[in-house]
Chain A
Amino acid sequence: MTSAWWPWAALALLGAYHGVNPGMGWLFAVARGMQEKSRRAVLSSLLPIAIGHEASILMVVIAVSLTEEFVPPFFVRLLAALVLVTFGLYKLLRPRLHPSGFGMRVGFIGLAGWSFLMSSAHGAGLMLAPVLLGLPVYAGYHSLSEISLQAVAAASLHVAAMLFVMGVVSVVVYEKVGVGILRRGWFNLDLGWSLVLVASGAVTLFTAL
């Protein structure tokens, strides 16, 4: 099928976007490296961040898959569209939500928990919903195990792309560029991200109608 490749590419691209966004994790890895004065601390921070992100994504992927299994596709799309638009509008109003109770000295579980909350507050998984609905496995009837397999593959591809980009960026910033880059390069993408959430909700809605 000619249309089969685009959802996978989109999943990887979204992963790369989350990987390059300082607020989603690589900056935390660099800060921990600077605090410990060790590149190991940078690298060892990446896995818990990726795990937290994966967990946040999986939550949405499982929700979409289960809904798809038991509810007609039209209603799944309608529901996804409503959630996306509502969340996007909420992010427009309160763009700076961040989890509280965290500090620089988080351990493996703390860092994974932070990443999970940060990704969820960002709506990282939600953005995947319309893409998932574009996967062929959701187009017709498939068994739950087929759907689950594809769902996990989708989330893993996304997180692998994120982990790769996050790893490259954090090491380059830690070793070469320095955190001074933040002042020039940390563009405010909150507004754009919120609008894209709303827009993809709208597209999902129209493909549902």
Chain B
Amino acid sequence: MTVAVDKTKCIGCGACVVECPIEALDLIDGLAVVNPQKCNDNGKCVIVCPTNALSLPNQPDQPKQALDPEAGSKFDLKEPLPDTVKDYAQDNQKKAISAQVTPVAGGDVWSGVWVIIEYSNGKVAPVSWELLGEGRKLADSIGCGLCGVITGYQVDSVIPEAFAYGAEKVYVVDHFALKDYRTEPYAEAITSLVTKYQPEIILMGATSMGRDVFPAIATRVQTGLTADCTVLGIDPETKLLQQTRPAFGGNIMATILCRTSRPQMATVRPRVMAMPERVEGREGELIHEEISFDETTIRTKVLEFISSDAKSAFLDKAEIIVAVGLGIAAKRNMVLAEELAEVLGATIAGSRGAVEAGWLTHDQQVGQSGTTVRPKIYIAIGISGAIQHLVGMETSDFIIAINNDPEASILKVANYGIVGDLFQIVPAMTAEFKKRLQHGVAN
């Protein structure tokens, strides 16, 4: 008998391979494969599998009860198992997963939740405040402090804001070398704070800056990093940070743990976490950290910054989006969407089909291979709603879809779905919006 792998369920996470005490499992081409010569049906892999892809065929109904809690001790192990393993075999499944924590160098030294506050070109990225709100919840569930980190040049105006949004302590590195964002000095500043003060968790927005500097820091301190999280939580037993993010282009959600190293690092998608309450005049501890930078050793120079209006720079910042799909049939019909967008002050976007047809450019594409958007209003015109499109827009606050196919998937995620001819409905909507907005008639 050997453990059976359901290849349609296996996600190739490797949890079973790590778990197997006798190395009978291997990951081959991204799927778990059992070596029947080695497998002795101890079933440990079955327990840890997050997708229930593994089973013991001879005991299909009760694979978990069939476990012998002492089974682990029978094997001649190459490596001693951590002590924690001994007690989890007698406990429940959840414990089994959480108890894998390998002792971390530094032990309890790593403490506190940090939020890196993104400040560039005189502006704080709002996601920084959202993360102080989320960080507060995490710090409370662990029972530790919440700190803000501000790196930049002439950042004094930001400090009271960080306290107002909930930081108890603020670390500041204020230096001319940090005037413009560059990976090297920013990574150096944050890395030196991290190694000195040893936070347990560090968060930053999944912006172009966060997604540039965090991998550099994680590599320097040799720890795990989870990108683009949409849900964070703390495991009540292990106090590990549960980092949930969309994977496979949003087709599944995966919860990632960083068990074996500290700090636990995550970037978080903007506008997913709620903005916390701002308390004017709140105070806290301020630590100015002096770091000297040698400009001659920094190998990058910012020559110029060309600011562009947010609408054209990044689709994911748009408040209102008018998106078109293949249903508009021809490029000349783009005018329907453009007129509607004009009236609403909206940004034009579209499906992959519309981009491939040449009606739009790639940076206007919404969806998995394009941009994920979360506007206040998303108006989908002639978009059928393939899953790849839906994952990129279904968290919009309000969705209006116009499609002639009553079975179109887009209608299933729409707050208002209109079945009908877009060539008649869209101009009528444009006219109606124009009338009300120009005359200020709401009802």
Q: Do A and B come from one complex?
A: no
